[in-house]
Amino acid sequence: MDKDKKNIENEKNTEIALNNLIFKNRENATHHYSYEIELNFFSKVCAGDVEAVKAAGLPSKEEINSTLSDKPILQERYLFAINAALLTRHCINAGMDSMDAFAYSDFFIKRMDECQTIEEIQSLNLDMMIYYTKQMRITNKMENKPSYTKPILLCMDFVYNHLHEKISLNELADFVALSPNYLATLFKKETGETIQNYIADKKIDSAKRMLNYSDYSLTEIGNYLAFSSTSHFIKVFKEKTGMTPGDYKKTSARQSLF
């Protein structure tokens, strides 16, 4: 009973505090970043209009007009996280792959966590907006984007979340409650490739990112992505890309200079 009384008291105090805040905002004519402004800005992001997004930049303090923390750097961190969530939501609604959108959000939020100054956070926030916009430009250029049935989407999601493990057809079939033979046939029919080939492609895509953006050795990358050996990893990588992982890393490094 004491616990129930405490919960009721907490709810009452919360209601009082919220009503006081609403009253204070009305008295001071305080308005948050309007939904119309939000839609106008994110329509530019979703259209892939990089120049318009660069020109718009971050919303001004007057546009935001909201205090989430009395500590300025925490205020910027909270605004950054909100912007990441909005970018993800709007871009997914506009056709961006949801797994990619959430991965971008996770990546930038982790980078933001390393920032030490307001200026660094704001600069990264702008970089994040431009990155999402560029990805939407790519998404919008894709013609005849395929639509998949629920079992296939679930399989793709499972593969994405288990790239560091060995993934079998039987495991996927159990996950989507279909027979292995039926799932294999359905997957090939909808995607045009076998499940095994799809898994290998996604593992190699992940390996490319690790080669470009980490200092892990070939053995470490191969082990992380659950290849049976380093030589197996190198063999599959070369089959998929036409070059060894080492050559790919060197080529990517040269291209990044230009």
Q: What is the pLDDT of residues 139-162, one digit of tens each?
A: 887 645 566 788 988 898 888 888
| Residue 8 belongs to some domain of the structure | no
In this structure, the answer to whether residues 158 and 199 fall within a common structural domain is: yes
| Residue 101 belongs to some domain of the structure | yes
Measured CA to CA in angstroms, residue 133 lies from 37, 76, 107, 239, 247 at distances of 17, 21, 16, 32, 30
CATH of the domain at 166: 1.10.10.60
pLDDT of residue 145: 57
Is this prediction's pTM over 0.95? no
In this structure, the answer to whether residues 160 and 207 fall within a common structural domain is: yes
Domain boundary at 141, 175, 196, which?
A: 141
What span, in angstroms and rounded, lies between the C-alpha atoms of 209 and 103? 12
Count CA atoms closer than 13 A to 122's CA, side-chain side: 11
In this structure, the answer to whether residues 37 and 137 fall within a common structural domain is: yes
In this structure, the answer to whether residues 156 and 66 fall within a common structural domain is: no
For 188-219, what is each residue's pLDDT tens digit? 999 999 999 999 999 998 899 888 878 889 99
| Residue 167 belongs to some domain of the structure | yes
pLDDT of residue 253: 62
| Residue 18 belongs to some domain of the structure | no
In this structure, the answer to whether residues 229 and 171 fall within a common structural domain is: yes
Domain boundary at 99, 117, 141, which?
A: 141
In this structure, the answer to whether residues 161 and 130 fall within a common structural domain is: no
In this structure, the answer to whether residues 158 and 75 fall within a common structural domain is: no
Total structural domains in the chain? 2
All residue ranges of the chain with pLDDT < 70 are 1-7, 12-37, 60-67, 142-147, 253-258
In this structure, the answer to whether residues 38 and 130 fall within a common structural domain is: yes
**Domain housing 170:** 150-253
In this structure, the answer to whether residues 121 and 185 fall within a common structural domain is: no
In this structure, the answer to whether residues 86 and 181 fall within a common structural domain is: no
Domain boundary at 103, 121, 141, which?
A: 141
pLDDT of residue 13: 67
Is 39 in contact with 13 (CB distance < 8 Å)?
no
- Helix locations, the chain, DSSP H: 2-27, 35-46, 50-56, 61-64, 72-93, 98-114, 118-141, 150-161, 169-176, 180-191, 195-213, 218-224, 230-241, 245-255
- Looking at residue 199, its amino acid is I
Which tokens hold the place of 14?
């919360």
In this structure, the answer to whether residues 189 and 216 fall within a common structural domain is: yes
pLDDT of residue 2: 66
pLDDT of residue 117: 95
Which tokens hold the place of 238?
């070369």
pLDDT of residue 21: 44
Is 97 in contact with 55 (CB distance < 8 Å)?
no
